[in-house]
A and B are shown apart, each in its own frame.
Chain A
């Protein structure tokens, strides 16, 4: 009995020792506030890229790429994807990387479905674990073709909802978002680590609040936005629906009742894309602050998960800064948009 306890404690604690070791080394390439300030101070994209090249593990990322927003975006996404793929090779890390990879896969599906409806093909390669040709064959209804769960059901349901909602393309996104969040929720329930479970639940709750606030700005029809809802303990269906139709004065109160008042910016609530962008920033900052506690864990999945999330935030920050430099945005405008870093 005692030997079993020692064995399980060892396995649980040190199963991630190799990956945590890698993460500790790779963390020297995680952006800090100081690095972001250095990039902010640069005069143009050229100078900004030179600062980025000096960060450990970023040296060669932008080598030989065109200095255009599209190229920057592709390079950053490719860099992040290669890290995810690398970690995904280790069976022990698969449940962790699945959360990040799911996002890429569902985004690819959204793009592929839109291209299919427009009778086009996906022109550029998009990072995904799905095979583009098989996905398009599945769209075309080839009986022998199959896709892994939950993608088959998601595609069928998305096309069916698309037909029943007057061929509105937004419907596809709502249905796919539901399947994505369902999967994330399932992952959260599967995780043994309570902190990771809580983190994922916060992520799901934020995703719903984000969707509601965005739908309010875009004048999304409630019956369509409801398509993305899946039952979860943090945002009830009743709250989700009532937030969609509530008057702007009541929204902050309702969000506070859900326990998420900290995501609201200081300025008073208004249905405006800039306000929603600020809310999204607050959400990202909350999640990164939450993830910072993972850094001090010696073993277990938390440091690996924290690193992968931090890398995603770095990609987001670099995209804001580099594209901002390309378009000549002011330091202040960019500073307002960037997210907090994993390491202060």
Chain B
């Protein structure tokens, strides 16, 4: 029983880290392609492009944070795992889903918005501030999903 519950809990942790990481990787990749295009013509925009490219990378960090939270909760870092029932393991897994799903999709969406913003600064460098705000808006939902995951994890009694 102990092993079964842990399997679900670890699956939750893996989903949070994996899916959010994939979202970030795709998002950073999309923004990076657009950024490379701009820098082919105007290498001087490296600083602004880098900032915008990095924005979709945060989902991966949030996913990692949620995943580690689960591992700490399970006592895996201390070397003495907590006994987890199947029900508790599934609760942990479902608690991880907000950041896993939202991290994946918001990472991609933020990457696209960041790519569009990179296009904006290529034509209008004076609008860099506004260009950063647009992809940052997508970040809100990744933060909210991380918050939901943390609150859900904290509400599970082991």
Q: Can you identify 14 A-B contacts, CB atoms within 8 angstroms?
A: A13-B112, A17-B30, A17-B33, A19-B37, A20-B37, A21-B34, A21-B35, A22-B38, A25-B41, A25-B45, A26-B41, A28-B123, A57-B41, A298-B116
Within 8 A of B (CB), among A272-327: 298-299
Q: Does A23 contact B (CB under 8 A)?
A: yes
Complex CA gap A27/B120 in Å reads 11
Within 8 A of B (CB), among A130-170: none
Contacts known (A298-B115, A299-B115); A20 close to B34, Cβ less than 8 A: yes
Within 8 A of A (CB), among B66-115: 108, 111-112, 115
> Which one of B38, B41, B42 has the greatest number of beta carbons of chain A within 10 Å?
B41
Q: Which residue of the partner chain A has the closest CB to B104?
A: A6
Pick from B36, B112, B116, B123: contact of A18, CB under 8 Å: B36
Q: Does B26 contact A (CB under 8 A)?
A: yes
Q: Does A114 contact B (CB under 8 A)?
A: no
Complex CA gap A89/B42 in Å reads 19
Q: Which residue of the partner chain B has the closest CB to A27?
A: B123
Complex CA gap A19/B38 in Å reads 9
| Structural contact, B115 and A25, CB atoms closer than 8 A | no
Q: Does B146 contact A (CB under 8 A)?
A: no
Chain B residues at the A interface, C-beta cutoff of 8 Å:
26, 30, 33-38, 40-42, 45, 108, 111-112, 115-116, 118-120, 122-123
Q: Does A79 contact B (CB under 8 A)?
A: no
Q: Does A98 contact B (CB under 8 A)?
A: no
Within 8 A of B (CB), among A1-57: 6, 10, 13-14, 17-28, 57
The 9 lowest CB-CB distance pairs between A and B, nearest first, are: A21-B37, A25-B41, A24-B119, A24-B122, A17-B33, A21-B34, A22-B37, A18-B37, A25-B122
Complex CA gap A17/B35 in Å reads 9
Give every chain A residue within 8 A of B119 (Cβ-Cβ).
Answer: 20-21, 24, 298
Pick from A6, A10, A17, A27: contact of B34, CB under 8 Å: A17
| Structural contact, B37 and A10, CB atoms closer than 8 A | no
Count of chain A residues near B, Cβ 8 A: 19
Complex CA gap A22/B39 in Å reads 8
Give every chain B residue within 8 A of A299 (Cβ-Cβ).
Answer: 112, 115
Q: Which residue of the partner chain A has the closest CB to B115?
A: A17
Give every chain A residue within 8 A of B41 (Cβ-Cβ).
Answer: 22, 25-26, 57
Measured between C-beta atoms, what is the minimum distance from B103 to chain A in Å? 14
Measured between C-beta atoms, what is the minimum distance from B104 to chain A in Å? 9
> Which one of A6, A27, A57, A298 has the greatest number of beta carbons of chain B within 10 Å?
A298
Give every chain A residue within 8 A of B34 (Cβ-Cβ).
Answer: 17-18, 20-21, 24
Give every chain A residue within 8 A of B37 (Cβ-Cβ).
Answer: 17-25
Give every chain B residue within 8 A of A26 (Cβ-Cβ).
Answer: 41
Pick from A10, A13, A24: contact of B38, CB under 8 Å: A24
Complex CA gap A26/B119 in Å reads 10
| Structural contact, A28 and B122, CB atoms closer than 8 A | yes
Give every chain B residue within 8 A of A27 (Cβ-Cβ).
Answer: 122-123
| Structural contact, A22 and B40, CB atoms closer than 8 A | yes
Measured between C-beta atoms, what is the minimum distance from B114 to chain A in Å? 10
Give every chain B residue within 8 A of A20 (Cβ-Cβ).
Answer: 34, 37, 115, 119
Complex CA gap A24/B45 in Å reads 12
Q: Which residue of the partner chain A has the closest CB to B35?
A: A21
Q: Which residue of the partner chain A has the closest CB to B118?
A: A21
Pick from A14, A28, A57: contact of B115, CB under 8 Å: A14
| Structural contact, B33 and A10, CB atoms closer than 8 A | no
Give every chain A residue within 8 A of B118 (Cβ-Cβ).
Answer: 21, 24
Measured between C-beta atoms, what is the minimum distance from A84 to chain B in Å? 16
Complex CA gap A13/B109 in Å reads 11
Measured between C-beta atoms, what is the minimum distance from B93 to chain A in Å? 20
> Which one of A17, A20, A23, A27 has the greatest number of beta carbons of chain B within 10 Å?
A17
Within 8 A of B (CB), among A74-111: none
Q: Which residue of the partner chain B has the closest CB to A15?
A: B33
| Structural contact, B30 and A21, CB atoms closer than 8 A | no
Q: Which residue of the partner chain A has the closest CB to B120?
A: A24
| Structural contact, A21 and B123, CB atoms closer than 8 A | no
Query: Knowing that A17-B115, A22-B41, A24-B122 are A-B contacts, what are 20 other residue pairs whose CB atoms are under 8 Å apart, sorted by A's residue number?
Result: A13-B112, A18-B34, A19-B37, A20-B119, A21-B33, A21-B38, A21-B40, A21-B115, A21-B119, A22-B40, A24-B37, A24-B118, A24-B120, A24-B123, A25-B37, A25-B40, A25-B42, A25-B45, A25-B122, A298-B115
Complex CA gap A10/B112 in Å reads 10
Complex CA gap A94/B21 in Å reads 33
| Structural contact, B123 and A14, CB atoms closer than 8 A | no
